[in-house]
Amino acid sequence: MYWYKRFRTTACVNAVIWLVWTVVIILPFQPFSYLQPIMVGGGAGTWFLLAYLLFVTVAVMGFAAISSFVFAMETHERRRLSARLMLSGIGLLYVGTVGGLILLGLAGAIGGYASVIAHSTVNATQNLLSPYVNLVTTASLVAVAGAGCVLYGMATAKKIEP
């Protein structure tokens, strides 16, 4: 199977996740009805909004863009990408991106609820958010490592002899 198909499939899976996330935001019953005021309230709710926007940008469009570059390399340029680099790259990139953004969104929803709906103090909200910082940072580093593997795999792709 070509690598571009795997990246395209991943982009499609992420698009479904993003659509579900969108539906969850607009559901009119609790606890989902709290999400819109949380996003508007700012503060930690900004984390939720940022995660939502980054998910469509990076997890959906980013994987689709990689798929198109890899498609050109595999079909038009007739290059073979390293299976080891691409497999580790797509795995790390997916886990880091999706995991990190879902954690960021969850932290934003929890912190936003605490500050906007429950009217918690700033210190109490920060205490809720602090465990997520290292997790999101680690997930971001995993995504960067995955992107590095993918880019290195693309840069070192070998021309297939006719």
CA distances from 134 to 12, 58, 66, 71, 90 (A): 29, 20, 27, 35, 22
* Confidence (pLDDT) at 16: 97
Q: What is the pLDDT along the chain (162 residues), one digit of tens a residue?
A: 699 999 999 999 999 999 999 999 999 988 888 999 999 888 888 999 999 999 999 999 999 999 999 999 999 999 999 999 999 999 999 999 999 999 999 999 999 999 999 999 999 999 999 999 999 999 999 999 999 999 999 999 999 876
Per DSSP (E only), the strands in the chain are: 79-80, 158-159
Helix (H, G, I), strand (E, B) or coil at 122: helix
- Cβ-contact 4, 86 below 8 angstroms: no
* Confidence (pLDDT) at 1: 66
Provide the domain count of the chain.
1
What is the SS3 string spanning 123-144?
Answer: HHHHHHHHHHHHHHHHHHHHHH
Q: Phi, psi (5° rounding) for residue 42? A: 75, -160
* Confidence (pLDDT) at 41: 85
Token pair 């469009």 is at which residue?
61
- Cβ-contact 45, 94 below 8 angstroms: no
Q: Which domain holds residue 95?
A: 3-24+32-159
Determine the angle formed by the axes of helices 122-155 and 63-71, rounding to 10 degrees. 0
- Cβ-contact 104, 50 below 8 angstroms: yes
* Confidence (pLDDT) at 161: 78
* Confidence (pLDDT) at 31: 87
